[in-house]
Amino acid sequence: MKIQLTKSKEVFNYCKPYIIAELGANHNGDMELAKKLILQAKEAGADCVKFQSWTKDSVFARKKYEDNYFIADDYRDRTDFTLEEIVDAYSITEEELLAMKKLADDVGIDCTSTPFSKKEADFLVEHLDTPFIKVASMDLNNYPFLTYLAKKGKPIVISTGLSELYEIDKAVKTIEHAGNNQIVILHCVSTYPPVDSDVHLNNIRTLMATYPDYPIGFSDHTLGTAIPLASVALGVCIIEKHFTLDKNMEGWDHKVSATRDEMQDIVIGSQRIQEALGSFRITATESDEKKCEFRRSIVLTRGMTKGEVIKEEDLDYKRPGTGLAPGMTDFVIGRTVNKDLAYDHILTKEDLV
């Protein structure tokens, strides 16, 4: 499956969402674990698995390693290993990524990775044949990098966490100026996990209104499945969700990740929601037979003899709707019956003079 980039909002938004299982570093540097993640993501129905491509030299400056201080999570003030050691251990090599791509191809799921440097981007395009380039939220204001990525000619999927609207706009214009208008914009909150009141799903509508020519999606860091499923009702074309085999596993993102069952719920639920959204045009979907069964007809409140004139008090309205509809009441009142009719008779035009 490919991300739809056709220049028609009706085509790429409100379509069946493309589901990305964000593996990130949840393989913990173990390629056997990475293989299991790919296979379970496929079983859950995801369309794509995505890694993150970095080395210890492409993600942090030396000062960060010298300070040995990471964000407030399980890795703050650890003494069993350094930040530099864990970054190195959780990275994925080019050879490993190629092996994971081959497995993904074999089982029929897209595979890509987020580059953290020009060299890594070159590898993804020239050797991995990535279907798109994913830009992490932290690089949305890295305009030289965005220009470099845009010139690769691949679709660019940008996450917008950490950013104000003017920064998103500058990023979009930077990519466009580099000659690339294959842009997908993901609403994102880069808190792991955010409280519900910080998610602001209505920003999806803002992005759709601001960028009507581009697909809009959602990169989710909430717990559970409710919030990503809610985004489908707003018309997102992509859902990106961290994926794990076990939320209690040692590692960076496992706690905010979806399990296989949760990912399957997102896949199945998003399909149902997208189908249920249907058309913006209001039409009755029920069959004529169903309409007749549920609607009412004009019926007589008493028996009438041939030649009597119908009065308002002679009429009632009951199911089924096989006779004259209630909307014909004014037409019926004052008419003469042309035959003897019983109480509760469903009136038709043939009964009237």
* Residues of the chain above pLDDT 70, percent: 94
CA distances from 9 to 212, 229, 313 (A): 7, 20, 54
Average pLDDT for the chain? 93
The tens digit of pLDDT for each residue in 113-128 reads 999 999 999 999 999 9
pLDDT at 5: 54
The tens digit of pLDDT for each residue in 182-194 reads 999 999 999 999 9
* pLDDT at residue 285 tops 90: no
Beta strands of 168-227 (E only): which ranges?
183-188, 216-220
Q: Is the dihedral of CA 134, 140, 144, 146 positive or negative?
A: positive
CATH class of the domain comprising 288-351: alpha beta
* pLDDT at residue 6 tops 90: no
Q: According to CATH, what is the number of the domain 9-55+91-277? A: 3.20.20.70
Residues of the chain with CATH 3.20.20.70: 9-55+91-277
pLDDT at 261: 98
Residues of the chain with CATH 3.90.1210.10: 288-351
* pLDDT at residue 74 tops 90: no
What is the arithmetic mean of pLDDT over 296-320? 98
SS3 content of the chain, % helix, strand, coil (to 5): 40, 15, 45
35 CB burial (10 A radius; 0-12, 13-18, 19+):
middle
Range scoring the smallest mean pLDDT among 54-68, 186-200, 299-313: 54-68
Task: Give 164 or 80, the one with higher predicted confidence.
Answer: 164
Q: Which residues pair with 317 in a beta bridge?
A: 298
- Residue 85 structure tokens: 């050691």
* pLDDT at residue 65 tops 90: no
The continuous run of DSSP H or E covering 336 comes out as none
Question: pTM score > 0.85 for this model?
Answer: yes
